[in-house]
Chains A and B, each alone.
Chain A
């Protein structure tokens, strides 16, 4: 019995190229259409995904505690964090904007970290693979939308430059936050969802043998 499901390409020694999708014998080593490396499964997928997710989780702390931008004016400097920006919009009664920023900058990054970790768990402990696929597709789609706050900082820094009267500078949290988004995106790209199906298949084989 192979560790791969009988429906799968891997069970027949066939691999779909990571780059162009061509199905071919994996022992060739390189894709005969686009010459990239062939693997049955992405090598070290879980280790890479977990390492990147961990790094993103660590960076998430300075991203939320340090100032994302500093407003310099006659009355002195005033720094704002991601959360204080949300609070300002809320106090201005701009509820939809406050909700959009809160979702993009706080809820989505946390949900994404949890989602990636739960996918890694699903690749080790068998779960319902169809449900896990929904989580996987969520992490793929949602990834880059968290970058909104970084772009807002970029635009404000460019536009609000009135000399000593008022000027906006980017804070350290902007870089940290961009780092969180980039790392979680690479983590999601490194994850091989086929591992979840392999695990579910191996589990069903084991339960069949017991009966």
Chain B
């Protein structure tokens, strides 16, 4: 029995063997309907392309104004980072640290991690420390809240419109596009497939 072709369901522990998956094929657990493995077409290329896009957008999101607010002759322009640092200067350092992690550090780790792994993997190589990076990347993915933050921005717009004129900056639109690219990048490659690729490149 080829151990590579053995899989146990992460939700119900059902064990079964499978043959090499054809492109577009996927395995669903017969006992609990959990999606176990999908072989998506051009998975590494797609994931890497979206990760590069996300990296550019993250840079744009950090260098342009995020929101500006105009009230009684005064205009406040804030950047994405200021939405985090303002929490610290207004007496909530713990909140600042956690928000920074959910909307900036976790997505940055995901993007850097996927580029670090995927670019060498595409040319059949395995970068040093791949185990550790892959683990950290999927760990960060669990705490990434980019899409929740976008909803938060929209809700606060509604709270602010009664007070003042609000203008969404370039950074906001970049952040919105970042959300789409990051989701697309992680949806392009299966976690098990990436681990299998890393393992295969280790042997060769």
Task: List chain A positions with a Cβ less than 8 A from chain B.
Answer: 4-5, 7-10, 12, 14-16, 19-24, 33-36, 89, 92, 94, 97, 100-101, 129-130, 133, 136, 144-145, 147-162, 165-166, 169-170, 174-175, 178, 182, 185, 189, 193-194, 197
Contacts of A182 in B (CB 8 A): 98
Tell me which residues from 135 to 166 in chain B have a Cβ below 8 Å from any Cβ of chain A.
Answer: 135, 138, 142-143, 145, 148-149, 151-153, 155-156, 158-160, 162-163, 166
Contacts of B187 in A (CB 8 A): none
B15 pairs with A159, CB closer than 8 A? no
| Complex: A14 Cα to B74 Cα, angstroms | 66
B153 pairs with A155, CB closer than 8 A? yes
| Complex: A36 Cα to B139 Cα, angstroms | 13
* B14 beta carbon closer than 8 Å to chain A: yes
Contacts of A20 in B (CB 8 A): 134, 191-192, 195
Task: List chain B positions with a Cβ less than 8 A from chain A.
Answer: 3, 6-8, 10-15, 31-34, 67, 69, 71-72, 74, 76, 78, 82-87, 90-92, 94-95, 98-99, 102-103, 131, 134-135, 138, 142-143, 145, 148-149, 151-153, 155-156, 158-160, 162-163, 166, 191-192, 195, 199
Residue of B95, B138, B191 most packed against chain A (CB within 10 A): B95
Contacts of A161 in B (CB 8 A): 76, 86
A208, chain B: closest CB distance, angstroms: 19
Q: Closest residue to A171 on the B side, CB-wise?
A: B92
| Complex: A147 Cα to B78 Cα, angstroms | 21
A150 pairs with B95, CB closer than 8 A? yes
Q: Which one of B74, B78, B92, B143 lies within 8 Å of A174 (CB-CB)?
A: B92
- Given A7-B14, A16-B10, also A155-B67 (CB < 8 A): yes
Beyond the given A148-B152, A170-B90, could you list 6 further A-B residue pairs with CB under 8 A, ordered by the A residue number?
A21-B10, A101-B155, A129-B12, A133-B12, A154-B95, A197-B12
Contacts of A33 in B (CB 8 A): 131, 195, 199
Contacts of B92 in A (CB 8 A): 170, 174-175
Q: Closest residue to A12 on the B side, CB-wise?
A: B15
Q: Which one of B3, B10, B135 lies within 8 Å of A34 (CB-CB)?
A: B135
Contacts of A147 in B (CB 8 A): 102, 145, 148, 152
B85, chain A: closest CB distance, angstroms: 8
| Complex: A130 Cα to B32 Cα, angstroms | 6
